[in-house]
Structure 1
Amino acid sequence: MARLFLIICLFCSICCFSQQENEKIKWQENQPLVWSDFKGKPVALSPFKANTNAGISFSWSYSSKNGVAKLDYVIESFFYPQSSWKKEIIKKDYLLAHEQVHFDIAELHARKFRKAISEYEIGENIKKDLIALYKKFEQQQKAMQQKFDSDTNHSKIEEEELKWREFVQEELKKYKAYID
């Protein structure tokens, strides 16, 4: 009996750990990040006060019935709490807004990707085409994330920070039709 209890406890702890590792928060317009979302362990030697891990997920399926091709897809942007962290912060609201922009940049590229897929005409190389599109938007997202941090010196240049916040919000509005 004790052995069965031990096995059950071990199984439950593995399941909980696996669930925690895979935890993700889907981007939602009226649900901004809060500091309690940042659950990862801070990188001690990092000069930064916080780190946001966000990205785009993509899945799709293709079928053809009576000669009519159908492409189903899901493109989402996520924040990964276990890979995102914070240290002691003085300007908490200001830095949280900076981290939110990182998440918003992921959502912006998810919307751009949805737009591209909605305009995609199914061809012979569907798998290759879709993988190429995903890579294109993932690379663009990463490049914008880096430019954001570079231009703002990781949030230290407040004037640039405010320009970026406004720019990303305007871009999200431009692609509002492609919100998930």
Structure 2
Amino acid sequence: MPAFSVKWPAILRRCWWLLVLPALVLTAAAIPAKNNEAPLVLQPVKLPFTPTQFYIARIRDERPNRAAVAWLVPAPTKPGAPLPAAQPIDLQGGGLAAIQAFVRQSLPRNPALRPIQIRLRECRVQEKVAANGAVEGQISLDLAFDYQTPDRAVFLTQYRGGARYIRNAADRTPVEPTLRQALASSLVYLNTWLNQAAATDVRLATAVHPTFRYETRRTEADTVFHDPAHPLTWDDFTGQPRPRGQYAASVFPSFAYQGRPRVRNGVVELDILLSIFVVRSSSWVAPGQQTAVNLNHEQRHFDLVRIVAERFRRKATPDSLTVEDYNSILQLQYLKSFTEMNHVQDQYDAETHGGTDLAAQERWNRRIDADLKKYGVR
């Protein structure tokens, strides 16, 4: 078989080179020009405070462009020559490492204080040539501060600041001190913010102390709140009786809570209002059934809700509630107690046969009285 070959016409050979040449140019343009400028050496600073609320536990680099911290105008190559465009100049050791060393050497680290995370969102020095041949520089800082808890980082506050300077094109001495002072200002801001917020900001609280109160007001027309001094009367049963029902009467008790947190001296003081109540319009008594025995049976339904609420109260202790999740912990305990309430009510009715089994009713009377006494209700 003869060898196969193709002769490209001269015009196509010329087009081939035209096609290849731009690719070579693009490849060459992707290689950055060599920068002979020395990196900036960030020096530590003596801060005007000793932190009493925090220490820096971690610094995260979230800058979109981490190639360099500074874009500086180089010195002219010869007198009278135009100034070159700004070139990237990083901190010695790299931007993140240099700032970590700056914070470590400038700020005492006391692990007994609150651990704070710094998220470095922007740290940039940008220079440009001024009209008079000088160099103008602008420093931009954007730092986010988080409280580093054992489980997660809680955002606290953000610092946005910076500085400006003007320098001689041949002398870059002002760059590092200006950047250093801008970073120091962010730490001064953090210290001031924490000193002001530590006592009252819930995100910085270290403990939860719940206190309970009971709603006993008798001002709502359709609601009766549990009060040992004021047991139920038949006047509290205003609902329409069920026709041909198996019960002589029915009561509608339940309980709820409301919590109002207040932070004082770094502690969440949680004021919880417990409401153990009967809805009067949902409670009824059949005609001719308004007896003392029946009223006692319905009152014991009410008392059982108080007992369950007392157990709920004792589950909400400072040891069981965390600053981060005290609300969800309370809600979970409430749902469990609500389920317990429904279960014990059904058990009570089943064992006493709706109050018609007087011996069983007496046993439940003694059990309920003992629990009320144990919880200090009676």
Q: Same fold (TM over 0.5)?
A: yes
Counterpart of 2:254, as a letter, is G
Q: In the alignment, is the contact (CA less than 8 A) between 2:249 and 2:289 conserved in 1?
A: no
1:36-75 equivalences in 2 (<5 Å): 36-75=235-274
Q: In the alignment, is the contact (CA less than 8 A) between 2:248 and 2:289 conserved in 1?
A: no
1:76 CA displacement: 2.1
TM-score norm. by structure 1 comes to 0.80
Q: Are 1:27 and 2:223 matched, yes or no?
A: no
Q: Distance in 2 between matches of 1:131 and 1:70?
A: 17
Q: In the alignment, is the contact (CA less than 8 A) between 1:26 and 1:77 conserved in 2?
A: yes
1:62 CA displacement: 2.2
Q: In the alignment, is the contact (CA less than 8 A) between 1:109 and 1:140 conserved in 2?
A: yes
Q: 1:65 to 1:30 in 2, by over 3 A?
A: closer
3-state DSSP of counterpart to 1:57: strand
Q: Are 1:77 and 2:77 matched, yes or no?
A: no
Which aligned segments of 4 or more residues in structure 1 are displaced greater than 6 angstroms? none
1:92-171 equivalences in 2 (<5 Å): 92-123=291-322, 124-171=324-371
Q: Which runs of 5+ in 2 are unaligned?
A: 1-219
Counterpart of 2:329, as a letter, is D
TM-score norm. by structure 2 comes to 0.40
1:118 CA displacement: 4.0
Higher strand share: 2
Q: Distance in 1 between matches of 2:247 and 2:318?
A: 40
Counterpart of 2:225, as a letter, is K
Q: In the alignment, is the contact (CA less than 8 A) between 1:76 and 1:107 conserved in 2?
A: no
When Rg is computed on C-alpha atoms for both structures, the one with the higher figure is 2
Q: In the alignment, is the contact (CA less than 8 A) between 1:69 and 1:122 conserved in 2?
A: no
Identity of aligned residues (%): 25
Higher helix share: 1
Q: 1:59 to 1:84 in 2, by over 3 A?
A: same
Q: Distance in 1 between matches of 2:295 and 2:250?
A: 10
1:66 CA displacement: 4.0
RMSD in angstroms over aligned alpha carbons? 1.7
Q: Which runs of 5+ in 1 are unaligned?
A: 1-18
Looking at both structures, which has the greater relative contact order when contacts are Cα pairs under 8 Å and sequence separation is at least 6?
Answer: 1
